[in-house]
């Protein structure tokens, strides 16, 4: 077994409202920035043990689908770093 690091990036789907993003956009505009939109997602770093990089990716894909993201409202990407 080897140790792997992976990142799961979770983003709200375009059709889903993001009230925190809208609030942040409002503050940035108030601060004088020419901002047109803000969407806030999650950047989740996972360290895990697996036989090889392929098995690590498979495990993290399952973690993302079953727990880390809500596939109804969110999209996610998995990247295995090492």
Which residues from 1-30 bind a second copy, rule CB under 8 A? 1, 3, 9-11, 21, 24, 27-28
φ/ψ of 71, rounded to 5, equals -60, -15
CA distances from 37 to 15, 31, 33, 34, 61 (A): 14, 14, 11, 10, 29
Shortest separation between residue 45's beta carbon and a second copy, angstroms: 5
Cα distance between residue 38 and residue 29, in whole Å: 11
Q: How many residues bind a second copy (CB under 8 A)?
A: 34
Binding a second copy (rule: CB under 8 A), the pick from 16, 35, 73, 81 is 35
The residues that touch a second copy, with contacts defined as CB under 8 A, are 1, 3, 9-11, 21, 24, 27-28, 31, 33-50, 59, 62-63, 66-68
């Amino acid at each position: 077994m080897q140790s792997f690091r992976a990142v799961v990036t979770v983003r709200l789907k375009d059709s889903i409202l993001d009230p925190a993003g809208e609030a942040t956009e409002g503050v940035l505009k108030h601060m004088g920035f020419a901002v047109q939109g803000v969407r806030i997602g999650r950047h989740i770093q996972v360290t895990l043990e697996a036989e090889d990089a392929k098995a690590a990716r498979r495990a993290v894909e399952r973690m993302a689908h079953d727990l880390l993201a809500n596939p109804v409202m969110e999209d996610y990407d998995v990247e295995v770093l090492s």
